[in-house]
Structure 1
């Protein structure tokens, strides 16, 4: 294996590691957003009064 092939393979591995770190970060952000949405819908989020609660449409 010549030197350029080794350098090329090392750069490819480093790039793959960086992409995996970015992907993990994005997945965590999406999970946090989904958690917040569910908490809002269930009314368990720390929000202002009346946000995410039941809506009385009979009035």
Structure 2
């Protein structure tokens, strides 16, 4: 093998490692976002359960004037 081929292979391997590292980082971020969305949906469901027993019409005519 000549030196140019070895250098090209080394550069290619380094670029591949960088791509793999970036892909892993993006997958980790996506997993965290999915977890955050699931937590938000669960919190909304919990809040809805707390408001299920409130009488009809509560909060409709709220006067916020000062």
Query: Normalization by structure 1: what TM-score?
Result: 0.75
Task: Specify which structure has the higher proportion of helix.
Answer: 2
Aligned residue pairs: how many? 50
RMSD between aligned residues: 1.7
> Whose relative contact order is higher, 1 or 2, with alpha carbons under 8 Å and at least 6 apart?
1
Q: Structure 1: state its 5+ residue gaps.
A: 44-51
- Rg larger in 1 or in 2? 2
Q: Structure 2: state its 5+ residue gaps.
A: 58-66
Q: Which runs of 4+ in 1 moved over 6 A?
A: none
Query: Normalization by structure 2: what TM-score?
Result: 0.67
